[in-house]
Structure formats: C-alpha cells, structure tokens
Amino acid sequence: MLSSAILTGLVLGGTYALVAMGLTLQYGVARIMNLAYGDIVIAASFAAFVLFSALGINPLLGMLLILPLGFALNWLIYAILLQPLARRSRDRGRLEGDSILATFGLLFVIQGVALVIFGSGFQSYNFLAVPVNILGTIVAANRLLALVLAVAFAIGLFVLLTRTRFGTVIRAVAANPASAPLVGVNVDSVARFAFALGGALAAAGGVVISMYLTFSATMGVVFTMKALIVVIMGGVGNLMGALAAGLILGLVETLVSTYIDPGLTLAATYLIFLAVLVVRPQGLFGKATS
Amino acid sequence: MTNLSRRTVMQGLGVGAMATALAGLPVFAQDRTAIRIGYAISKTGANAAGAGITTTPNYLLWVDDVNKAGGIKLSKLGVTLPLEVTEYDDRSAAEETVRAIERLATQDNVDLILPTWGTGANLAAGPTFDRFGYPQLAATAVTDMAPQLAARWKHSFWMLGGGHDYANALVELLVKQRDAGTINNKVAIASVADGFGIDLSKAATPAFTEAGFELVYDKTYPLGTSDFAPIINEVSGLGADTFVAFSYPPDTFALTQQAVVADFSPKVFYLGVGTAFPIYPGIAGPNHNGVMGVGGIDPDSEAVAAYFERHIALNGQAPDSWASAITYASLEMLQQAIERVGDIDREAISAELSSGEFDTIIGKVKLVDNQLRSLWTVGQWQDGKFVGLAHTERDGSRDPVVPKPDWVPAT
C-alpha cells in the first residue's frame, strides 16, 4: 500500500516537475514572469492533438516537430515582445512588473486564437493509456512517461548548465545580468535562448499531458499556477529544485489523498508551500540573495 | 455662492422628468425592426467549456430557427420581427455577469436577456434580473433552493431541478438493482468539493444510508484535481459493486480513464457533469457503453432527434444529453410566451411563462411554482445514446444495463 502510494505520487510529481521546468528557466534566467506559460503548454497540447487525430502522427514523434516549434515561437515572443522591456528596465522589480503585464496580455492572445480555432470544448485522445505493472502497482504508461521525461530533462539540462561553457554563461546571466556583459556575455541573446528553451520545455510538457489529461483552450492558467508553486518552492532558476519540488508535491498529494482524505490535498500542497517559504524563502535549492 | 431660485429648480426638475418619461416610453412598433436579445456568456475562463457545450450553441440555434421561420409574431403591434443579438463575454466571473446584465438592461436596452451558464452564475445574476424585471430562464442551474428563489425573485424560472432530485432517483434505481440481486450492498462515493458535488453528495449520503446501503467510501476531492489514481486504487479494494462520482468535467473524463487503466470495473459506474457530453464516447472509446450519469434524453422522441440533427447541422457538434434540450425548450417557451402576449411586455411574458403550458422538444411543459419538475434524472450510455433511465414524472425510457460491460483495455 505504501509503496503503491509512493510510486503513484512520484508519477504525479513527474507531471508537475515536467510542467514547471520551462518556467524556472524563463523566470530564473530570462527574468520573465511568464503568465502565458500555461497557455504555451496548452498550445502544445492542441498541436499534439491535431497531429495525432488528423494526421495520425504518434505524439512522441510529434514532439520532434512541436519542440523546435515551441523553441522558435518563444524565441520570437522574447525578441519582439519582451526584449524591449528587458532593455529599458534597469532593475529586476521593474522588469517583473512589466513582464507580468505583457504576458498577461499574451495569455489572452494565445487563448483567443485557440478558442477561435478549436472552440471552448474539451479535447482528448488516448495514447499509451496502457497499464504498466511496477512492483505490483499499476500506473498508466503515459503518466510514467511524464516522470521519465522530467527526470531526463532535469539531468540533461543540469549537466548542460554545470559542465559546459555555454551553461556557465547562462548561469552568469541568471546570477548577475548587470555584470555579465563585463566578461563578454551577450545578455540579450542568452536570455532569449533561455526563454526559448523554457518554451520548448513547456511544449514538451504540453505534449505529454495531452496524452492523459482532457484539456480545453481556457485551462492554461491551471498549469501556470501549479508551475509557479513548483518553481518558487524549488528555487527560481534551479532545474533540480523544480524536479525535487515537483516530486515532493506529487508525493504529498498522493500520501494525503491515500492516508488522510482526498479533500485535503490542496490544503497540504499549500501548507508545504508555506512551510518552504517560511523556512527557506529562496526555495529548496535556491541561493539566498544578498 | 449660487442661489437657485425655486423657479429654476422646478424648471430643471420638469425637464428631467420629461426626459425620464420619454426614455421610459416603449419603442413604437414602426421604429422596431427586431426583437433585441442580449446575453452575457462565458466565452473565456473556467466556465467556457461548459457554456460552449450546453448554452451558447442553443442560443445560436434558437436565433437561427426563429429567424429562418421569419421571426416572432407580435400581434398587438401587428408585426413579425426577427431576433437581433447582443453578446458579451462574462469571462466566467459572476461580477462580470452582473455588470453585463446591467449594461444590457440600461444601455443596450435589449428586450430580453438570456442567462449565463452554471448554477453559481445564475444565483449571482438573480437579483439583477429581478431588479430590472427581466425574466430569467435558468436552464443550467441545479439547486435545492429553487422553491425559495422562485418565491423571492418573481421573474426567475428554475429548469434543472435540485440535488435531491438526482440523488434520490439514483438511490431508488440502485435499490431496485440490489433487491433484484444484481449488485451488492456496498457503494463508494467520491464528489468534487464544489457547488454541484456538495449539493448532490449532501442529498445522496443520507439517501443511501436510509436505503440500507453501506457507504464504504464517501469522500470529496478539491476542484482541479487531475490525478485520480489514489482514489481509484483505494476504492477498487473495497469490494463495492457501485461507484458513484458527483464530478465535474474534466474530472469525469479523468476518472473514467483512471478506472480503465487500473481495471476497476464495478457493476455500476456513475459519473456527474460531463457524462452526458457528446464527447464522452470519444474520450472513453468503447468503454462509454453502460456508464451511468446525471441527465438523459428520450431516445424515442422524434422531436429530440430532429433537434439533435439541427444542432449538429448549425454548430457542428451534438448537444449534451442533459441540460441542452432543456435550454432549448426554455427558449421555445419564451418564444411562445411572447407570441401569446403579442408584445414585448416583460411583466406579462413572465406571467405567461409562469402559468402557461408550452409545446417543446421535451414535450408539453407546464411550470410548477416557476420550476420545471419534469426531468430526466439518471441516464446511461446505450448504443451510442445517453438514454434516460429515470424521470421525475414518467417511466424510464430504457431498462438499466447492470452490470455494465467490462472495460475494454487500451491497446
């Protein structure tokens, strides 16, 4: 029973972590508090849905197309909409305020386009909805895939960020965008790249969750909120933090649901969130700002 | 300091009174080119999906049907006028709904206002409809308070029953199955901790207990829950033949998918809002067959079949099999009430809605204390249709299939 609850919780946490990773890059490196993040996720879900139901393309193959598209789209969004804001704001607070307003507008643009094309109804398709037996616990293969992808992305990007020169440049921008140019870092292009990479991760999340969640054009905000909690809990800009926080939330929700009451899952989530904020305001893996 | 003479004040008051009187005058028949209908509906936000399935398509269909037939006849004015629509997005926020209704009543001066989607929004809009004296045909609000509300707001009409109607009908149906020996005595209930789920579980829990059922599981889950593995895993080990979820979409779909993956296939699988949606068979695949839920239609009614066809032709999607037909019927009632009154006299139209008998796609309808009491309460997917198993006034249209077919596992 306990092992089953833990496994189910990890699988759920995988979804949370996967959806949050892109936002932690966008917020941590590019310093854009992207309120349209969840709508990018949903846009990718729609893309996977169309590829699968109209053209019969397997969503896993579809990802090869949707991920670069997500990257390109977010690159453009940053270059056109957000770069001017980043250039003109001298301090982080100002950029946060401006980016919140700009991406709030973007949220409605993306949602509006999705509403016009797909209407407001629910969309769904079945892919990999097959049971997988792990040590006696049945989990859905598509949800397991979310966990595997989350772990793979987190480790892959962690290695990229800590073991390569380019990763060091990204971390330099995240740590101190004002001083990074002094050592020859092009902050604009690095932030743009990080934002686009975050968008590609959001797209990956969108494709995977579309395999098992019924979604609609107006559901993006749900993912933005969940991702935001995970990002702040894990430490802004920290991929391993997002992974850990996502898994912790999934575990807590499932354990509370199994052993106490499913009605208290939300309360437990926010209690943990609150506890982290009180004890470690910078997040589990975040560095204290001086 | 300005001194206002008494005369100036009186003149001013006179002009003001005149203006008010003129503004209040009904529009003369020869000025009228249309009957103006206004509504605020959720096109964005959390309610958009529900409104887009049940409410907006029916408004569009009704306007299309009426205008294709030439319009509505206003005999007292000697004209037949088409409908003209003013539409707002209430962004799924009750205060936006209220603001939009105020705007429709005071600035757009529409003749009639159609309600928004959902129980909460209709309750929130009630006082505003009442204040401006517009009839409110709440076809998508499920509330046990309907009798009190109808008494408080004289122009309000409650068309979808209350939690007790649905819960009691379900229990009654299951008692028959238990007494026939097809299901055991154990029931598991999961309900969403939001309006509909709370209302129905509050009514169902005592009804099940009184009927002698053993509730092996009776818990709520928060709105927005996406993973039902813990609930299904726990319930599947409790030996209940009946699983009841008073759920909202998209939980309704997620519960189905999770139950299939976990191979939890109870003899009775009952779900809440969303089961009657036309996309349910698409989501559940072959496993939709035998699933029970709230609502239902008469599969033998030609009027309903014709309505389904017109709905699909205009909107490109089928209506849901619960509140859609009732929404359309409420509009037919409105149209007939206007024609009988022969004028846009909202007071008289409300009185006619309240007392008259109407011919609709769901049959002859006469409201009881401003409430529609003739409702399908339990439905089941059989042969591609969500057929009514229990009705408040009639016999069920089909016998329930219990146990439902076993799940077909995904490949």
Q: What is the pLDDT along chain B (411 residues), one digit of tens a residue?
A: 445 555 555 555 555 455 444 444 454 545 789 999 999 999 888 888 889 999 999 999 999 999 999 999 999 999 999 999 999 999 889 999 999 999 999 999 999 999 999 888 999 999 999 999 999 999 999 999 999 999 999 999 999 999 999 999 999 999 999 999 999 999 999 999 887 888 899 999 999 999 999 999 999 999 888 889 999 999 999 999 999 999 988 899 999 999 999 999 999 999 999 999 999 998 898 999 999 999 999 999 999 999 999 999 999 999 999 999 999 999 999 999 999 999 999 999 999 999 999 999 999 999 999 999 999 999 999 999 999 999 999 888 899 999 999 999 876
Of residues B221, B226, B274, nearest to A213 (C-beta): B226
pLDDT in tens, B59-96: 999 999 999 999 999 999 999 999 999 999 998 899 99
Q: How many CB pairs under 8 A join A and B?
A: 124
Give the model's pLDDT for residue B7: 55
Structure tokens at B39: 């509504």
The answer to whether the beta carbons of residues B327 and B305 sit under 8 Å apart is: no
Residues of B with CB under 8 A from a CB of A: 43-46, 48-49, 51-53, 92, 190, 193, 219-222, 224-227, 229-231, 233-234, 249-250, 253-254, 257-258, 260-263, 274, 277, 279, 282-283, 285, 317, 409-411
Based on the fold, state whether residues B251 and B362 are members of the same structural domain: no
Based on the fold, state whether residues B46 and B112 are members of the same structural domain: yes
Based on the fold, state whether residues B40 and B157 are members of the same structural domain: yes
Asked whether the beta carbons of residue A222 and residue B224 sit closer than 8 angstroms, the reply is yes
Based on the fold, state whether residues B202 and B115 are members of the same structural domain: no
Based on the fold, state whether residues B209 and B255 are members of the same structural domain: yes
In chain A, the residue whose alpha carbon lies closest to the alpha carbon of B285 is A126
Chain B residue numbers touching A258 (CB-CB < 8 A) = 230, 233-234
Residue from B227, B231, B260, B279 whose CB has the most chain A CBs within 10 Å, to mutate:
B227
In chain A, the residue whose alpha carbon lies closest to the alpha carbon of B253 is A214
DSSP-derived 3-state class of residue A256:
helix
Residue B207 placed within a domain: yes
Mean pLDDT, residues A182-211 taken together: 92
Residue B328 placed within a domain: yes
Asked whether the beta carbons of residue B250 and residue A214 sit closer than 8 angstroms, the reply is yes
Give the model's pLDDT for residue B12: 52
Sign of the CA dihedral running B131, B133, B139, B143:
positive
Based on the fold, state whether residues B290 and B178 are members of the same structural domain: yes
Task: Report how many domains make up chain B.
Answer: 2
Based on the fold, state whether residues B248 and B386 are members of the same structural domain: yes
Residue B402 placed within a domain: no
Residue B18 placed within a domain: yes
Residue B406 placed within a domain: no
Residue B260 placed within a domain: yes
Distance CA B257, CA B233 (A): 13
Structure tokens at A21: 């990773």
Based on the fold, state whether residues B241 and B290 are members of the same structural domain: yes
Mean pLDDT, residues A276-287 taken together: 86
Of residues B51, B230, B250, nearest to A213 (C-beta): B250
Based on the fold, state whether residues B177 and B82 are members of the same structural domain: no
Based on the fold, state whether residues B179 and B199 are members of the same structural domain: yes
Chain A residue numbers touching B48 (CB-CB < 8 A) = 115, 120, 216-218
| Cβ-based neighbours of B50, under 8 Å, separated by 6 or more | B42, B117, B118, B140, B249, B273
- Whether A212 has its CB under 8 Å from any CB of chain B: the answer is yes
pLDDT averaged over every residue in chain A: 90
Chain A residue numbers touching B221 (CB-CB < 8 A) = 257, 262-263, 265
- Whether A19 has its CB under 8 Å from any CB of chain B: the answer is no
Based on the fold, state whether residues B239 and B384 are members of the same structural domain: yes
Report the phi/psi class of residue B148: left, alpha or beta, with left for phi > 0 and alpha for psi in -120 to 50.
alpha
Residue B410 placed within a domain: no
Give the model's pLDDT for residue B1: 43
pLDDT in tens, A17-65: 999 999 999 998 888 999 999 999 999 999 999 999 889 899 999 999 9
Instruction: Give, in degrees to the nearest 5, the angle at Cα B396 between B393 and B402.
Output: 140
CATH of the domain at B347: 3.40.50.2300
- In DSSP notation, B151-203 reads HHSTTEEE-S--HHHHHHHHHHHHHHHHHTTSS-SEEEEEEESSHHHHHHHHH
Of residues B52, B230, B277, nearest to A257 (C-beta): B230
Based on the fold, state whether residues B83 and B55 are members of the same structural domain: yes
Lowest mean pLDDT among A221-225, A255-259, B21-25, B382-386: B21-25
Residue B140 placed within a domain: yes
The answer to whether the beta carbons of residues B272 and B216 sit under 8 Å apart is: no
Structural domain harbouring B319: 6-161+301-375
